[in-house]
Structure 1
């Protein structure tokens, strides 16, 4: 029997990026279906989050994400542009956000088609893998096509139904918090939340307990 799980994910989260490719590989190796549940990043949900954190938080996070990428041999570079427009000196989040709403709605539209995990992985590789100007030209179109999606249909969906998609994204956030956590990446399997890119081995252990089989 195919095991089912949900992955709560943000396009702005470097740790979501560092996890999603490995979760995608898990679904390709084992009889597991992971449903993507995109959420808006903390910068949108809690705009003062970065300003409230300890001054060392940002520097340590950058150091840690780089070494995690090196440890797992995952291509990694600061995004150009950042999905969130933010003054990194003051940590203040700009009111105008031209990228993150579009990205998250695209992710939710892809999830509707059952291709959210693959789409988010392909797009995250652009954002965090060193592609400058990932938001320009055909980059996102090519990522969508690699995920088996019709780019034109996706654009039409986010244009015609932004409010409906936002309701679904808000429901994802509510479901994440109901699962027992609030951050990303969090994978929920059999009602149990596993937060962080460093919990994948534990997820595998739990899934093996539940009878996971190879494809």
Structure 2
């Protein structure tokens, strides 16, 4: 029997984006099942987070993500539109959020089908990889198809079963905190959290200690 891990993840997190294709590749090359567990970003859970943080936090984060993407050879561009509607000058989060709830519910619907990681990878490549208007036309439908999913089915479920999906997303957040962390991306393997896109090699080391084997 293969190994299993949970990946706590957000559509608004550029670090989640930088980790996703690498975790997906790991699950495809090794006898490992990674279950995506989407959570709402800090902008939803703690709307004043950005106002409370140090003024240099946002500038450094942008510079760091740009540097990491170049180092890893992963395309990166500021999302158009941002999954979170926010006034960057004041850091205030808008009351109306037309993207993040829809996206996260669709991501959870994909996770219900065991294809959450694949969908997160394909969708985040659009959002953070430089596709303008990723929320329009058939962009997300194409991402779903590449992940082996029917987008119409996912979107209908996100609308009709929003309450249950939100409960599952809230349970994901509780599980993340119970595992010992609060941020994303965090891989949890056998109760041990590995936070950040820079902890993939460390997680792989631990899983190899537990007998992780390459797929044949």
Aligned twin of 1:32 = 32
- 1:155, distance to aligned residue in structure 2 (A): 1.4
Aligned twin of 1:73 = 73
> In the TM superposition, what are the counterparts of 1:1-215 in structure 2 within 5 Å?
1-215=1-215
Secondary structure of 1:36 counterpart: strand
Secondary structure of 1:193 counterpart: strand
Superposed CA offset, 1:159-181 (max 9, x none): 11000100000000000000000
Superposed CA offset, 1:13-52 (max 9, x none): 0000000110001011100000000000000000000000
Superposed CA offset, 1:147-200 (max 9, x none): 000111111111110001000000000000000000000000011000000000
User: Where does the alignment leave 5 or more consecutive residues of structure 2 unmatched?
Assistant: none
Secondary structure of 2:86 counterpart: coil
- 1:85, distance to aligned residue in structure 2 (A): 0.2
User: Where does the alignment leave 5 or more consecutive residues of structure 1 unmatched?
Assistant: none
What CA distance in whole angstroms lies between the structure 2 residues aligned with 1:25 and 1:155?
26
The two structures have a TM-score, normalised by structure 1, of 0.99
What CA distance in whole angstroms lies between the structure 2 residues aligned with 1:126 and 1:77?
10
What CA distance in whole angstroms lies between the structure 1 residues aligned with 2:93 and 2:214?
44
CA RMSD of aligned residues (A): 0.4
Secondary structure of 2:87 counterpart: coil
What CA distance in whole angstroms lies between the structure 2 residues aligned with 1:29 and 1:152?
30
The two structures have a TM-score, normalised by structure 2, of 0.99
Aligned length: 215
* Superposition misfits of 4+ residues, deviation over 4 angstroms: none
Superposed CA offset, 1:52-84 (max 9, x none): 000010000000001110110000000000000
What CA distance in whole angstroms lies between the structure 1 residues aligned with 2:65 and 2:159?
34
What CA distance in whole angstroms lies between the structure 2 residues aligned with 1:125 and 1:155?
19
